[in-house]
A and B are shown apart, each in its own frame.
Chain A
Amino acid sequence: MADIVQILLSESFWAASLRIATPLIFGVLGALMCERSGVLNLGIEGIFVAGAMAGWMAVWLGAGLWGGVVVAALTGACFGLIHAVLTVPLGLSQHVSGLGVTLFATSASYFAYRTALPNVSSPPRIEPFRALDIPVLSDLPVLGPVLFQQTALTWLALILVGIVWYVLERTPLGVAIKAVGDNPDSADAQGLSVQGLRIGAVVAGSALMALGGAFLTMSAFDAFFFGMVNGRGWICIALVIFASWRPGKALAGALLFGAFDALQVRLQTQVGALVPGQLFLMAPYVLSIIALVVAARRAEYPRALLKPWFKGQR
């Protein structure tokens, strides 16, 4: 018990929580954006992989770190567009299309990586984003190390929480997106383009998801590995439900998740000899299922989620 208290009081623990939460923040925001417009995007896991691969490869080919971020986002948007076209104008099963996009994006990324680097034993490294280390602010007690020694991508994630919240809650565009996800018929009656808004939301949301992947190869690590996304996309889908489709709660959920994950890593080093390490590795997935079960009862899904909509039909 004293151990846990000590961990919770350490700055490095909170810094690690925020770091672990960062890709999830991007992913949850992206998934939330898609679902608010009425489209479940199970392409998320593959889009994470594609963002991680494309961003890393762009930097490796000399595009620069921010160039890599842009390439990752565009790659995510392209895969999002496939899902959007299949599910919105064609109205196909969102489940199957999403899984198809995940398989397609994953295998395309792996194939591209293997084709570009046929015979490397250890993956080539890039110079990743460095901690910002803002003068004065990063020397603040507690807040300094936790907030002001993160990389620029973590800051981008936090800023995007604010932007997505502002757009969804305070702008006509946000009202429109939520309207097509809740009641497309009345949105249409008000002259909104239901299909256009849905396609836009899915494409934008997918770009956000890809940034989560890019964080992995360009900030958390400095190389691309097979299997490095490791279910983070699926965890985001669970967190969106946990967060009731709200950006603020999504941030809280991702941080809570990051804190649990950081805690288990630290506990593992302390009691590792007593318990098999795999139990700790399972923790994030078990935690996500628990979060989902807890949230499921009171979950208020966007009312038109999974329902295709076509003009002129009620």
Chain B
Amino acid sequence: MMRIEPREAPGRLLTLGVPVLSALVALALAAIPLMLAGAPVFAAYGEMARGVFGSLFAFSEVLTRTTPLIFTGLAAALAFRAKLWNIGAEGQLYLGAMAAVAVGAGALDVPGWVLMPLIVVLGAAAGAAGMMVPAVLKTRFGADEVVTTLLLNFIVLIFVQMMLEGPLKDPMGLGWPQSAPILDQGMLPQLIPRMRVHAGLILALVLAAVAQFMLARSVWGFRLRAVGENAHAARHAGIGVNRTMLSVAAVSGGLAGLAGVSEVAGLKGYLTADLSPGFGYTGIVVAMLAGLSPAGVVVSALFIAGVFVGADSMSRAMGVSSYLADLVVSMALLSVLVGGFFARYRLRLGPERPPGRGPGQASGKEQGHG
């Protein structure tokens, strides 16, 4: 008879080891699609490694990719900690990017020290506003935020297309549906000459540190965790559950909005409807791999960015579809889920013990209906 037992205390090694192991398992599993695609497996891994570590430029590209993923990863990590299922980071990212070009692409010709912060603040505000809609629909009407945030992603993307063919369209853009470029003084500065990595990375790292501190040490962080762990008990303890939810929604949406700001004002310079290759959704994987810890988000964003950049370069060299990266990322999510289970429980072979603590309590506690 096989049974499942909780571990007494999942040690530090296990909590850190599981995500690392899951990431490695996902990378190793990529061998299967590589073989199916008929590519030489070891050479393909070699190409991927070269694409990530091969040169300073290669690694700077990884850092460039890491930047938006830290923002969307933080957005998901904070929201999920409070059991607020914000799956709408993709849409909030576009709202932030839209606000950035609306104010930054010539509407205001002011010095950079005014324009740059203005773009950042307005972009975050737009993302926050975007998340307030589903959050209010949840707290006021009880509409499930999973579905509303998912649907809003589609609505926002169509709205972006509408704006890019209307008010935000670049008159000099030769008819392409793209916005006018952000004024030079409004662009986030580059960190290394002739490389694309930009100050958005610094902002992302600072915010990750702030989020880590706030979550662990502040009253707001305490409320957030209390609501996430047990909304019922939190309400009894006098915590305003809805107020906390709304504030988490604003912060989460704002962070996702900053991903859009950083892509448009740090990298691309102008807005198109294909600004994000799913950074919002990938942020969920980043957050889960990080065990919903803001500090961990930085590390897992780096890993995921490496997978994307490495797979891109492998794809160019060997003609294997770059969807391999998405495949690895999704497998990393599934394996970290399973790994998290084995960090908390162990399988024992032997006779059944009298019913005691099993997976029910611990995982049940985490699942309270959202």
Q: A42-B146, A234-B151 are in contact. Are A103 and B141 (CB under 8 A)?
A: no
Question: Which one of A124-132, A214-222, A275-283 is at the B interface?
Answer: A275-283
Inter-chain contacts of A313 with B (CB < 8 A): 355, 358, 360-361
State in angstroms the CA–CA spacing of A79 and B221 once bound together.
Answer: 37
**Of residues B151, B159, B166, B368, which shows the largest number of chain A Cβ atoms within 10 Å of its Cβ?**
B151
Q: List 17 A-B contacts (CB under 8 A).
A: A90-B341, A90-B359, A97-B334, A99-B333, A103-B333, A104-B330, A111-B33, A111-B324, A111-B327, A114-B321, A231-B154, A241-B144, A278-B158, A285-B151, A292-B147, A299-B142, A306-B369
Please tell me if the beta carbons of A310 and B338 are within 8 angstroms of each other in the complex. no
Inter-chain contacts of B369 with A (CB < 8 A): 301, 305-307
Q: Which of A95, A104, A282 contacts B155 (CB 8 A)?
A: A282
1/0 per position for A276-300, CB-CB distance to B under 8 A?
A: 1011011001101100110011010
Residue of B nearest to A241 (CB): B144
Please tell me if the beta carbons of A297 and B326 are within 8 angstroms of each other in the complex. no
State in angstroms the CA–CA spacing of A297 and B137 once bound together.
Answer: 11
Please tell me if the beta carbons of A103 and B341 are within 8 angstroms of each other in the complex. no
State in angstroms the CA–CA spacing of A90 and B342 once bound together.
Answer: 9
Sample of 10 further A-B pairs with CB below 8 A, known A91-B341, A235-B151, A282-B154 = A82-B334, A93-B363, A103-B281, A104-B334, A107-B323, A234-B150, A241-B147, A282-B155, A289-B143, A293-B143
Please tell me if the beta carbons of A289 and B321 are within 8 angstroms of each other in the complex. no
B340 sits at the interface (CB 8 A): yes
State in angstroms the CA–CA spacing of A6 and B308 once bound together.
Answer: 52
Distance (whole angstroms) from the CB of A277 to the closest CB of chain B: 8
Please tell me if the beta carbons of B147 and A238 are within 8 angstroms of each other in the complex. yes
Inter-chain contacts of A99 with B (CB < 8 A): 87, 281, 284, 333
Inter-chain contacts of B285 with A (CB < 8 A): 100, 103
Count chain A residues whose beta carbon lies closer than 8 angstroms to a beta carbon of B.
Answer: 54
Inter-chain contacts of B154 with A (CB < 8 A): 230-231, 282, 285
Chain A interface (Cβ < 8 Å from any Cβ of B): 42, 82, 86, 90-97, 99-101, 103-104, 106-108, 110-111, 114-115, 118, 230-231, 234-235, 237-238, 241, 276, 278-279, 281-282, 285-286, 288-289, 292-293, 296-297, 299, 301, 305-310, 312-313
Please tell me if the beta carbons of A278 and B142 are within 8 angstroms of each other in the complex. no
Please tell me if the beta carbons of B36 and A285 are within 8 angstroms of each other in the complex. no
B331 sits at the interface (CB 8 A): yes
State in angstroms the CA–CA spacing of A111 and B162 once bound together.
Answer: 30
Please tell me if the beta carbons of A308 and B363 are within 8 angstroms of each other in the complex. yes
Please tell me if the beta carbons of A96 and B341 are within 8 angstroms of each other in the complex. no
Residue of B nearest to A305 (CB): B369
Distance (whole angstroms) from the CB of A256 to the closest CB of chain B: 17
Please tell me if the beta carbons of B338 and A90 are within 8 angstroms of each other in the complex. yes
Q: Which of A42, A285, A310 contacts B360 (CB 8 A)?
A: A310
Q: A115-B321, A278-B159 are in contact. Are A297 and B142 (CB under 8 A)?
A: yes
B218 sits at the interface (CB 8 A): no
Distance (whole angstroms) from the CB of A289 to the closest CB of chain B: 5
State in angstroms the CA–CA spacing of A289 and B145 once bound together.
Answer: 10
Please tell me if the beta carbons of B337 and A86 are within 8 angstroms of each other in the complex. yes
Distance (whole angstroms) from the CB of A245 to the closest CB of chain B: 13
Inter-chain contacts of B320 with A (CB < 8 A): 115
Distance (whole angstroms) from the CB of B320 to the closest CB of chain A: 8
Q: A104-B334, A115-B36, A301-B369 are in contact. Are A91 and B364 (CB under 8 A)?
A: yes
Inter-chain contacts of B161 with A (CB < 8 A): 278
Distance (whole angstroms) from the CB of A83 to the closest CB of chain B: 10
Among all A-B residue pairs, the 4 with the closest Cβ atoms? A114-B321, A107-B326, A103-B330, A312-B355
B129 sits at the interface (CB 8 A): no
B184 sits at the interface (CB 8 A): no
Please tell me if the beta carbons of A289 and B137 are within 8 angstroms of each other in the complex. yes
Distance (whole angstroms) from the CB of B257 to the closest CB of chain A: 20
Q: Which of A103, A106, A286, A293 contacts B137 (CB 8 A)?
A: A293
Inter-chain contacts of A238 with B (CB < 8 A): 147, 151
Inter-chain contacts of B137 with A (CB < 8 A): 289, 293
Please tell me if the beta carbons of B334 and A292 are within 8 angstroms of each other in the complex. no
